[in-house]
Amino acid sequence: MPRVVDHDVQREEVLLATMRTLAAHGPRGTTVRRIAAEAGVSTGFITHYFRDKGEVLAQALRLCNERSQERVAARLEGLEGLDAVRALIGAVLPLDEDRLLTWKIWLSFWGRSGGDEPLGREQRRGRESWRAALRRLLGDAQRAGAIRPDLDPAYEAERLVVLVGGIGLQSQTRGARSFRRKAWAYVEDHLESLMAPAPGADPAFSPDTHRVDTGESP
Amino acid sequence: MPRVVDHDVQREEVLLATMRTLAAHGPRGTTVRRIAAEAGVSTGFITHYFRDKGEVLAQALRLCNERSQERVAARLEGLEGLDAVRALIGAVLPLDEDRLLTWKIWLSFWGRSGGDEPLGREQRRGRESWRAALRRLLGDAQRAGAIRPDLDPAYEAERLVVLVGGIGLQSQTRGARSFRRKAWAYVEDHLESLMAPAPGADPAFSPDTHRVDTGESP
């Protein structure tokens, strides 16, 4: 059924065009006319396939969140402990054009959905699924002894959500290149304060220094 | 010259109305017509006293930033060390209606000024003056021995700017009451990781516990 496939492709084209329009003009400036011009389709195509502008925006946000989840899944594969936590965070840090665009879109909606369902529902779904994944991975890392036993994974997940949100916000105002290095430094400095000391390790030495000091070959 | 004074008062009324309109509708939805309706003046009054909508927005943002600086000055009075750092942060944490409104306005502009001067200039000025004050107070606290000597006050000021931005962002999505407690917990947990141990103190005891243990009267 090539006709159906074509329409699915065109529908996704419209949603990608909506994402670009959102990033450039915000939700209020994202009109059906602008989306149509950006996608290279008629406004009739859009009004035929979407109920209204609200539905286009909600579907574009959903696509944006799905792509973010795909980045998460691709990075998490085979990782555990703090490496998994780092991968989950890295998947949403605004360190390349795709993720910068994602943050621009997330921020453009922030605090704006009001009673506007299903947009508000999609916003909450995206945030909550990321926070829940973070909480789970922090719990895993804690059980594996990588994170201090006195910490509460749910609370620490919230602190990391706040940190990553702050980084997303700053990414819209700073020189992108120098910011990339700093973004990871902020995350690493935060994670360091959560880490459990390695069992039996001399706290004055990192594992590598320790190994050299004892003269053992690796 | 009562006429001049009246006009100054009306001008400020227009800017306050602009702030409320910004919080409700964002920069794009803040039209001269809406501002006039909110302020109870004619659109002619606004176009007489302001060059264009861009100037009204920039002046409203400036008023918003000035009010924030007044809150900072009022809280800082007579404080030093970590208490001064806490007061500076507390002055911008979104913990009451005024500061929640301030964050709504800041966020509505975030990443949106583009080439729009003087709006972009006012945004940068507000951010930079707060960051600079934080850096200075962190340096003071470090010289007074309250903050670890190995930390860089400029970098730690940036980390706190990121944290407070993340809190401002979350404040737009959460239940306000439960969030207030958490916002301070996030800040205190962060500050704790910067603190120098008290000289001569047993690191296993807080100063109060220690005092009770040694049986000294305060």
Q: Which of A61, A98, A107 is nearest to B165 (CA)?
A: A107
Residue B62, CA atoms < 13 Å, CB-side half-sphere: 14
Q: Which of A158, A162, A168 sits opposite B163 (nearest CB)?
A: A162
**SS3 label, residue A131:** helix
A173 CB-contact burial (10 Å; exposed 0-12 / middle 13-18 / buried 19+) = middle
Q: Which of B173, B192, B188, B182 is nearest to B89 (CA)?
A: B188
Cis preceding-peptide flag for A118 (omega within 30 of 0): yes
Tokens representing residue B92 in the block? 């911008």
Dmax over CA atoms of chain A, in Å, equals 74
The partner residues of B195 in beta bridges, in order of sequence, read B147
Instruction: For chain B, give the mean pLDDT.
Output: 84
Give the per-residue pLDDT at B205.
43
pLDDT, tens only, A140-174: 999 999 999 999 999 999 999 999 999 999 888 76
CA of residue A26 relative to chain centroid, distance: 19
Least confident of A143-147, A186-190, B125-129, B133-137: B125-129
Whole-angstrom Cα distance, residue A53 to residue A47? 8
Give the per-residue pLDDT at B124.
84
Collect all residues of chain A within an 8 Å Cβ-Cβ radius of residue B21. none
Give the per-residue pLDDT at A213.
34
pLDDT, tens only, B59-102: 999 999 999 999 999 999 999 999 999 999 999 999 988 898 89
B136 or A98, which is more confident? B136
B186 with A162: Cβ contact below 8 A: yes
- Residues in B whose CB is inside 8 Å of some CB of A read 25-26, 28-29, 104, 107, 110-112, 123, 127, 155, 158-159, 161-170, 172-173, 182, 185-186, 189, 193
Place of tokens 């895993």: A140
Q: Which of B26, B112, B165 sits opposite A166 (nearest CB)?
A: B165
Whole-angstrom Cα distance, residue B84 to residue B141? 8
Give the per-residue pLDDT at B3.
54
Collect all residues of chain B within an 8 Å Cβ-Cβ radius of residue A28. 25-26, 28-29
A-B CB pairs within 8 A amount to 80
Give the per-residue pLDDT at A23.
86
Tokens representing residue A70 in the block? 């795909």
Query: Using an 8 Å Cβ cutoff, are A161 and B167 in contact?
Result: no
CA distance B27 to chain A (A): 9
The dihedral through the CA atoms of A130, A71, B155, A208 has a sign that is positive
Residue ranges of the alpha helices (H) in A30-152?
A: 32-39, 43-49, 53-76, 81-92, 97-109, 119-143
A159 with B189: Cβ contact below 8 A: yes
A199 or A201, which is more confident? A199
Q: Which of A107, A169, A193 sits opposite B166 (nearest CB)?
A: A169
Q: How confident is the model over A82-101, as a mean pLDDT?
A: 93
A172 with B110: Cβ contact below 8 A: yes
Tokens representing residue B30 in the block? 């803040």
The dihedral through the CA atoms of B203, B206, B207, B212 has a sign that is negative
A126 CB-contact burial (10 Å; exposed 0-12 / middle 13-18 / buried 19+) = buried
Q: How confident is the model over B152-157, as a mean pLDDT?
A: 97
Q: Which of B25, B112, B169 sits opposite A169 (nearest CB)?
A: B169
Whole-angstrom Cα distance, residue A202 to residue A39? 60
B159 with A28: Cβ contact below 8 A: no
Cα dist from B215 to A86, B206, B209, B212, B218, whole Å: 46, 15, 10, 5, 9
Given a cut of 60, whether residue B22 has pLDDT beyond it is yes
Q: How does residue B163 score in pLDDT terms, banded at 50, 70 and 90?
A: very high
Collect all residues of chain A within an 8 Å Cβ-Cβ radius of residue B134. none
Give the per-residue pLDDT at A200.
58
Place of tokens 């993340």: B166
Instruction: Name the residue of chain B whose CA is nearest to A109's CA.
Output: B108
Q: Which of B159, B161, B164 sits opposite A189 (nearest CB)?
A: B159
Q: Which of B177, B134, B179, B129 is nearest to B155 (CA)?
A: B134
pLDDT, tens only, B106-115: 888 776 655 5
Give the per-residue pLDDT at B214.
33
Q: Which of B29, B111, B170 sits opposite A162 (nearest CB)?
A: B170
Least confident of A32-36, A92-96, A207-211: A207-211
CA distance A2 to chain B (A): 41
pLDDT, tens only, A36-91: 999 999 999 999 999 988 899 999 999 999 999 999 999 999 999 999 999 999 99
Collect all residues of chain B within an 8 Å Cβ-Cβ radius of residue A195. none
Query: Using an 8 Å Cβ cutoff, are B68 and B57 in contact?
Result: no
A153 or B5, which is more confident? A153
Given a cut of 60, whether residue B5 has pLDDT beyond it is no
Q: Which of B117, B52, B98 is nearest to B109 (CA)?
A: B117
pLDDT, tens only, B189-217: 999 999 988 765 544 444 443 333 333 33
Instruction: For chain A, give the mean pLDDT.
Output: 84
